[in-house]
Amino acid sequence: MSSAAVDLAESVLERLLAAGVTDVVLAPGSRNAPLAYAAWRADRLGRLRLHTRIDERTAGFLALGLTRMGARAAVVCTSGTAVANLHPAALEAAHSGVPLVLLTADRPARLRGTGANQTTDQVGIFGRLVDTHDVASIDDIPPDLVGPTPLHLNVQLDAPLVPAELPARLTVGQLGRENCGLDDEPSSSRSQFHRPAGETVTRLAPGPRTIVIAGDDAGPAARRLAEAAGWPLVAEPSSGSRTGANALRTGRLLLTTPLAERVQRVVVLGRPNLSRPVGRVIERGDVETYVVPAAGVWPMSPAGATVATAPTWSADGPDDPAWLDEWREADRELGRRIDRYLAEQPALTPYDVAGAVARALPPGGLLVVGASNPIRDLDLMHRPTPVGERRMVVANRGLAGIDGTVSSAIGAALGRPHSTRALALMGDLTFLHDANGLLIGPDEPRPDLTIVVPNDDGGSIFATLEQGAEPLATAFERLFGTPHGTDLASLCAAHRVPHLRVTSRPELDHALAAPNGGIEVVEVVVGRHDRRALDEALRGLAQAQ
């Protein structure tokens, strides 16, 4: 005999399955037990894939990574602080336009405000950025559960919270729906969830000296526009646009040179938030700026920009070829200077690591990049690749936090099982911040994923910012450098995750050339105390052109 809570949980899950949910990430608890049993049954029937994690923050980012790849995942947790631990993933999903489903368990309304254990006000806990529904019955769930924003279903569950018994035998169709087809390849990444309902075409005419800037998740439209018009393309690593003959490797540094002063028009797609030179050229008052609205919660920037949801080239042939040639030649020369300079360094640098990872990513591969320095290092070392090779580079750039990166990478690798190879690149602090992402039970799905960690024993990003200036050096290590001295090999061993520590370029290339399968960690020892000087030297190479 079932209970009202068990029936409601099964009905809620049924609605989610009908809306296309393919994966459920469960953080165990008492109040969410009915939801847990419903997900377990659906998993046994092959109708979804169940992942269990003991840490709600890890669970949230695992679901985020899965959904980012075009699947749709729901993360399920119990009441109280468990819900608050989903907030970082909810914010990242909101700002990057990922339709994550947050399924939280709560007391029935009559028990709220009575001082019951492990309770708080969960309705609207994620704020106005997340669509929240307080669910006392199945009628409280909106009819349309597919949209471009995160969805929070706060389900009121009353005792008894567990079924009287489990069925002796499970058969397909017990929950009223056929297999959801987990073997089907997603048609695309998360862009399938945020296509504009009605696009207006902005026709761009020849004349002004123009560059195309592709931020995170810009997609191939940025490349196609740049190639049609014959314009230089400055594309961030996670833009999905860093392919073809117009894409530049060193665009970020070239925007600090006199070439940038001659730019008269900018077309922006995606969310460019990786470098200050890009931001400065976009915000220049003498530059005509067109911005294609990005998915997620993002203000229009700059305020006076022209909105262009579908910019197209109006001429039959490309714009001034000499303009593109100048950028290409400058890009090739600066790239050669950077490579020569790095090759002359006596020890491994973080740029060497980023370059080695980029070279190890094959056609059809997946690379998840952590925030802070690694994605900026990759920005200078990742050469544009040929069109059509389907290399996917993704990052949590909604709020660009370091939290949840290990879990996001595991989720992305699980969500894109057809990748020829899955790699992740993240700094040591990012890795340690989400070390619980390695805490995976023996019966849980595991991807093949190589996690590369350039370990400089601290936060080198701050050495490149104002905090790293010499007059402030006395307080730097304690406040920003934050050395940790953690033995990553022992940490990995505690999780039974293979670990390899390398200290030279040949060792790094060898480690990346021979993945062992499953989740493995390659720790690369690099220096931190010369990071500011290294970055200044590379910027100086651009100015010397």
What is the pLDDT, as a whole number, of residue 300? 67
What is the pLDDT, as a whole number, of residue 201? 65
Task: Report whether 405 contacts 370 (CB < 8 A).
Answer: yes
What is the pLDDT, as a whole number, of residue 200? 56
Task: Report whether 385 contacts 220 (CB < 8 A).
Answer: no
Rounded to 5°, the CA angle 99-103-109 comes to 135
**Other beta carbons less than 10 A from residue 544's beta carbon:** 9
Phi/psi at 348 (5° precision): -60, 140
What is the pLDDT, as a whole number, of residue 440? 97
Exposure of 471 in the CB half-sphere (CA atoms within 13 A): 1
What is the pLDDT, as a whole number, of residue 46? 95
User: How many angstroms separate the CA atoms of 489 and 18, rounded?
Assistant: 44
Pull the structure tokens for residue 148: 């471009």
Secondary structure of residue 322 in the 3-state scheme? helix
Secondary structure of residue 406 in the 3-state scheme? helix
What is the pLDDT, as a whole number, of residue 405? 98
Mean pLDDT, each 10-residue run in order, the chain (545 residues): 88 96 96 95 96 97 96 95 97 96 94 76 93 96 87 95 77 40 32 41 90 96 96 97 97 96 96 92 92 84 82 90 97 98 96 98 98 96 96 95 96 96 97 97 96 95 89 90 95 98 96 94 94 95 85
User: How many angstroms separate the CA atoms of 276 and 466, rounded?
Assistant: 13
Q: Quick one: which of 211, 203, 204, 242 has its CA closest to 324?
A: 211
Query: Which residues have CB under 8 Å from 127's CB, separation 6+?
Result: none
What is the pLDDT, as a whole number, of residue 170? 60
Query: Which residues have CB under 8 Å from 470's CB, separation 6+?
Result: none
What is the pLDDT, as a whole number, of residue 302? 78
What is the pLDDT, as a whole number, of residue 89? 98
Exposure of 327 in the CB half-sphere (CA atoms within 13 A): 31
What is the pLDDT, as a whole number, of residue 353? 98
